[in-house]
Structure 1
């Protein structure tokens, strides 16, 4: 029983470190990205009548300034980002320096997922030593 808990704990901890490794990779390649504050978000809804299988994912039109110019891009609808913006909180996007239409959502919600996996892995490790 303790070896199973130990193995599961190690697996959970390694899964918890994956988002941290992704963050480190983004940090290393940061010279290609610039953080831009979002000026406006508008939800975009298509009112075309189509079959359910052909319905496109709901999108948002996001406006931001990059190098003094106003840019607009369509991104996938993100409820968390939209609600944070409507609450008046500062929201940012990571913008590619070479192509300002290529953006990445900088919500950093991976902190919560990484923390849950790491805590679950640590509790399984503690449980494995407790049951041995």
Structure 2
């Protein structure tokens, strides 16, 4: 029983560490990118294809300044980012210095799931230690 809990806890800890490794890899790979403050965010919907309720892939138009020029890109709808912008808080995104049309949004969703898996794995590891 304790060996099974130990193996399960190691699997949970591994599943919890994978999102953090992915986040770290993205940070290292995007190290040469530049942080730009978002000027405006506009919700974009293609109403010619289907009504708003039936649109599965909603988008938003994000405008930002990069090297003194105004750029705009269409990205997938990010509710937390959109809500932060509506509240008047400063919002940023990472922009490729060689191609300003390539952007990267920092999302903390996978880190939250990873911390839950990591906590569950540590709890199972502690439980296997106390049962032994």
State the TM-score, normalizing by the size of structure 2.
0.86
Equivalent-residue separation in structure 2 for 1:86 and 1:65 (angstroms) = 19
Give the whole-Å Cα distance in 2 for the aligned partners of 1:85 and 1:23.
Answer: 23
1:62 corresponds in structure 2 to 62
User: Paired residues, what number?
Assistant: 130
Q: 1:83 to 1:14 in 2, by over 3 A?
A: same
String of CA shifts for 1:56-90, please: whole Å, max 9, x gaps.
Answer: 51100001111111110000011111111111222
- Which one is further off, 57-66 or 100-109? 100-109
Name the counterpart of 2:46: 46
Alpha-carbon distance, 1:50 to partner: 4.3
- Partner of 1:123, secondary structure, is helix
- Tell me if the contact between 1:95 and 1:104 (Cα under 8 Å) persists in the aligned partners: yes
3-state DSSP class of the match of 1:74?
A: strand
CA RMSD of aligned residues (A): 2.0
* Structure 1 counterpart of 2:99: 99
1:92–1:107 contact (8 Å) kept in structure 2: no
- What secondary structure does 1:3 align onto? helix
1:126 maps to 126
| Unaligned ranges ≥5, structure 1 | none
**Which moves more between the two structures, 111-120 or 78-87?**
111-120
Change (3 A) 1:50 1:86: closer
